[in-house]
Amino acid sequence: MEVVIAPGPELGRLAAAAVEQLVREQPDAVLGLATGSSPLAVYDELARRHAEHGLSFARVRAFMLDEYVGLAADHPERYRNVIEKEIASRVDFAPGAVQGPDGLSDDLPGACAAYEDAIASVGGIDLQLLGIGTDGHVAFNEPGSSLASRTRIKTLTRQTREDNARFFGGDLDQVPQHCLTQGLATIMSARHLVLLATGRGKAEAVHQLVEGPVSAMWPATILQHHPHVTVLVDDAAASRLQLADYYRETYAAKPDWQGL
Ligand code: GLP
């Protein structure tokens, strides 16, 4: 696990550079897209590189991490619509190239199985962008999630619903109780995981993710078992890391050729 501590805007550039390098080398790469505020700087930077440097996503396929259950098709907070607004509509994905779990399906278990099949059918995800919840969730894998889980329905914790109420006019009752989410094993199948976290509110979750014991109580800790994880954090999110100085020294001394 590599930990990079840098100012917020730099984190977005670093993640976007990793995406660009992948897509330039492998134009039909498969990306994993996250919602939430953490990846927004990455999406802004990718949109800029598309507009100004001709970075093309024409052959890229993308899969979303999760989706609310039951939000109307035109609801602005439906993750499919959020991803469309924040990134898909700003670059040149082919029609149908961005997929997400179907939170409006009449057969939710069937939709989850179909989603796993869709990811497998393109050979899996090359680079997965991730955020982290204040309770240590990744995607919507809340504390107690099976570390071996696959895409399935989950019930959101009150903490997560409170955290996300800001997207629903501050009204907790408007935040759905259920979601479909890639499981922890689904996420672990991606070849490179790039997790972004900023702000003091994430400091404890980041400490647990990087330095805590692996436990379903902090679902993100399963990432310690992945061979290629990049954790991009600002000073505030890094403020509880015990080995922060070591991570800074390591990154400062990193050879240029190595990349993320
Ligand atoms: C949300 C999403 C996660 C996201 C996390 C943090 O509930 N389902 O994918 O990583 O919570 O969100 P944010 O980046 O806005 O802090």
Answer yes or no: is pLDDT of 259 > 90.
Answer: no
Q: What is the pTM of this model?
A: 0.97
Instruction: Find out whether the beta carbon of 140 lies less than 6 Å from any atom of ligand 1.
Output: yes
Q: Domain extents for the chain?
A: 2-253
Question: What is the arithmetic mean of pLDDT over 173-202?
Answer: 98
Average pLDDT, the chain: 97
Across 30-58, average pLDDT: 97
Question: Of ligand 1's atoms, which has the minimum distance to the CA of residue 36?
Answer: 15
210 lines ligand 1 (CB under 6 A): no
| pLDDT of 90 above 90 | yes
| Binding site membership of 100 for ligand 1 (Cβ less than 6 Å) | no
- Amino acid 113: pLDDT: 98
Mean pLDDT of 117-143: 97
* In the predicted structure, residue 14 carries a pLDDT above the cut 90: yes
Which residue's alpha carbon is at the smallest distance from atom 1 of ligand 1?
A: 36
At the top level of CATH, the class of 2-253 is: alpha beta
Q: Tell me the pLDDT tens digit for each residue of 188-246.
A: 999 999 999 999 999 999 999 999 999 999 999 999 999 999 999 999 999 999 999 99
- Which residue is closest in CA terms to ligand 1's atom 9? 139
In the chain, the percentage of residues whose pLDDT exceeds 90 is 97
Q: Ligand 1: does its nearest atom lie under 6 Å from the Cβ of 175? A: no
- In angstroms, rounded to a whole number, what is the distance separating the alpha carbons of residues 172 and 151? 25
Nearest CA to ligand 1 atom 5: 133
Q: What is the mean pLDDT of residues 69-95?
A: 97
Q: Which band of pLDDT confidence, cut at 50, 70 and 90, is reported for residue 64?
A: very high
